[in-house]
Chains A and B, each alone.
Chain A
Amino acid sequence: MALSTKEIKELEQHAWQARHDIIDITGWSGGAHIGGGLSVADMLVILYFKYLNVDPKNPQWEDRDRLIVSKGHAGVAYAPVLARKGYFDFQDLETFNKFKSPFGMHLDCLKVKGVDVSTGSLGHGLPIAVGLALGARIQKKDWYTYCILGDGECNEGSVWEAAMAASHFKLNNLITFVDRNGLMIDGSTEEVMGLEPFSDKWRAFGFIVKEVDGHDFNQLAEAIDFAKAEKSGPVVIMAKTAKGKGVDFMENEVKWHYGGLDTDLRAKAKASVDRMYGKA
């Protein structure tokens, strides 16, 4: 169902906040994966503030929906969204990356409330998501498992081992996203190791593919609603995004996969975000 104007306004406010938070944490921490954090931010926002059936006061509630951020380097985006959802104080993130902080740049589920699965090494998330979805089915539970993959991550063979299993077991309780920002560390995905025809690969592995603009909440909502209702098997939401989305000097720039921001650049980055949201 299409989102109401009010819902869109609220989600956009969360997304604006998330982008400011990502910029701040990148500044505090000395360096973070800001490009891919900004590309995935809207997916995290719509999941936490619209779809995920979770309780920040009871993070281990056994009937909660699960989310696996398989592109674990997006911790810089994931952590502030968890904080704003109420799992912990946003100010705790001032320790990000620092000595004995619970927050490394790849989040640890044993240290950070709300994180279901520790990720960071690429290609690990989808197999674990398949295990969670099978676990729910075996125990006759109706919670959903969501998994967010990076596009470059899909070079990993283990992603496709898991994809084969997800369709073999007809896991209709598993909803997968691909953050299709088109860039990896060494260049564009197509230059480094071509993924296209990417959606066809997923179809060949037995997935139903929904291609959306990964920064458009209406399109994301429609795709998630479709995936939740689909009973025949797994759905992958191929979310076209821009790495560095919202910060004009970072958008689609390979070099902003990882970086730091001084006070001046933080101000410029936030001003750019404000312009995108019409707040300037």
Chain B
Amino acid sequence: MSEGLTWTVYDADSMTQAEIYGQVLCDLGDQYPEIVGLSADLANSTKIGKFGKKFPERFINVGIAEQNLFGVAAGMAKAGLLPFVSTMATFASMRACEQVRTDICYQNLNCKIIATHGGASFGQAGSTHHCTEDVAIMRSFANMTVIVPADGIECANAVKACVEYPGPVYIRIGRGFEPKFYDKDDYGFEIGKAVQLMDGTDITLICCGVTVLQAMEAARFLKENDGLSVRVLNIHTIKPIDEEAILKAVLETRRLAVFEEHNIHGGLGSAVADVIALSGKGCAFTKVGIPDCFCEVGYPEDLYTHYKLDADGVIETVRQVMEMDFEEDDDWEDEV
């Protein structure tokens, strides 16, 4: 890695996830001449435009045409280039769904999708611009890797890591007003590996994206006020998921709660539930996300509060999960 790639030099307090992404891609562009950037009239909104300004001959704006965007990216990958494609998550995962699946994943192309405005991060815009389905869609595609970074620093780590990670990668970030979580980049980010932010034995909080910061605030509060020993796992990579960290949490804490800015069906919560169900181990479990509805309109922070994805919501959920009964042994008779 060249000297330009120390993300902590970026002013993460005032730079958004997307701005940091744009800057990181510029730096990577110096090191990797095969990187090309593509967008569909969202060069500025997604911040890939920074790369476009620095490398105009390696940047393609296809206009408002997302199907073409991902087809063109597939062709450029076929030509031996390394495309980074940026548009809003809703268009990447749904407008161009089949192009991502058939053109990129089926051919197992080395193509990186950095999708912005994920979840309810553009809450004011309404459901056309919300995206609470993308993780479910993307993780159902063979060959696809799915990452939801916690903040700008983790976004930088993910973008950096995906360059050398083979095959298609989908990185979902927000609109850019998410508070920063990490102070430094050297906390051991690795694609497919959960980051344990706090150790505990009473309950495990599993989170990704904007819920990481909220879960950590809640965990600190619960430790101090409820005397709970809380484990917090940042599972930034939803596919391939870190089964070992989840099963260890089941074994050692026996209570798990998942928080994500996504429909409760098909996202991180479902991925974690799969791991638990297939293990045959019992535990108290809940998942909190957008409860299978189209999101209300509003500023993201108000929506997070409404859907119990802020620290207060996490605390409320944890207290419920601590009361949940679950089957710890093979004897079902005492439960029914």
Binding site for B on A (CB under 8 A): 62, 66, 108-110, 116-118, 120-121, 123-124, 126-136, 138-139, 141, 145, 157-158, 161-162, 164-165, 168-169
Asked if B106 and A161 make an inter-chain contact with CB atoms under 8 angstroms apart, the answer reads no
Q: How far is the CB of B331 from chain A (nearest CB, A)?
A: 46
Give 29 pairs: A residue, B residue, CB < 8 Å, sorted on A: A110-B107, A110-B108, A118-B102, A120-B102, A124-B98, A127-B68, A127-B74, A128-B74, A128-B103, A129-B75, A131-B72, A131-B79, A132-B76, A133-B75, A134-B60, A135-B76, A135-B79, A135-B81, A138-B36, A138-B58, A138-B76, A138-B81, A139-B79, A141-B79, A158-B65, A161-B62, A164-B63, A165-B62, A169-B60
Q: Is the interface of A mostly helix, strand, loop or mixed?
A: helix
Over the window 76-117 of chain B, the binary record of Cβ atoms lying under 8 Å from chain A Cβ atoms (1 yes, 0 no) is: 111111010000000000000011001100111000000000
- Point out the residue from A132, A134, A158 that lies within 8 Å of B67, measured CB to CB: A158
Pick from A108, A129, A165 the residue with the most CB of B within 10 Å.
Answer: A165
Contacts of A158 in B (CB 8 A): 65, 67-68, 71, 99
Partner pick for A134 among B70, B72, B106, CB 8 A cutoff:
B72
Indicate whether A130 sits within 8 Å of B81 (C-beta atoms), given known contacts A109-B107, A118-B107, A121-B102.
Answer: no
* CB contact between A124 and one of B60, B77, B103 (< 8 Å): that residue: B103
Which B residues form the contact surface with A (CB < 8 A)? Answer: 36, 57-58, 60, 62-63, 65, 67-68, 70-81, 83, 98-99, 102-103, 106-108
Provide the bound-state CA to CA distance between A127 and B65, in Å.
10
| B67 touching A127, Cβ below 8 Å | yes
Cβ-Cβ contact count across A and B, 8 Å cutoff: 106
Cβ A62 vs Cβ B72 within 8 A: no
Closest residue of chain B to A120, judged by CB? B102
Give me the 7 closest cross-chain CB pairs, A-B, nearest first.
Answer: A131-B75, A127-B71, A135-B79, A161-B68, A131-B72, A161-B65, A128-B75
Shortest B59–chain A CB gap in Å is 10
Which residues of A have CB within 8 Å of B65? 158, 161, 164-165
Q: With a CB–CB cut-off of 8 A, which chain A residues contact B106? A: 108, 118
Once the chains are docked, how many angstroms separate the CA of A121 from the CA of B105?
14
Give the CA-CA distance A132 to B74 in the complex, in Å.
8
Measured CA separation A165–B76 after assembly (Å)? 14
Contact between chains at B78 and A162 (CB < 8 Å): no
- Cα-based distance from A177 to B284 in the complex (angstroms): 60
Q: Knowing that A118-B107, A128-B103 are A-B contacts, what are 17 other residue pairs whose CB atoms are under 8 Å apart, sorted by A's residue number?
A: A66-B78, A110-B107, A117-B74, A117-B107, A124-B98, A127-B67, A127-B68, A128-B75, A128-B78, A130-B71, A131-B73, A131-B74, A131-B79, A134-B75, A135-B36, A139-B81, A162-B68
Q: How far is the CA of A138 from the CA of B83 in the complex (A)?
A: 12
- Structural contact, B107 and A127, CB atoms closer than 8 A: no
Cα separation A229 to B109 with both chains bound (whole Å): 32
A127 to B96, CA, bound (A): 12
A165 vs B79: C-alpha distance when bound (angstroms): 17
A116 closest partner in B (C-beta): B78
Q: Give the shortest distance, in Å, between A65 (CB) and chain B (any CB).
A: 12
Among A131, A134, A136, the one with the most B-chain Cβ atoms within 10 Å of its Cβ is A131
Q: How far is the CA of A116 from the CA of B103 in the complex (A)?
A: 12
Distance in angstroms from A132 CB to nearest chain B CB is 4
Of A62, A129, A136, A161, most B-chain CB atoms within 10 Å: A161
Is there an interface contact between B79 and A136, defined as CB atoms closer than 8 Å? yes
Cβ contacts under 8 Å, A121 to chain B: 98, 102
User: Distance (Å) between the CB of B221 and the closest chain A CB?
Assistant: 50
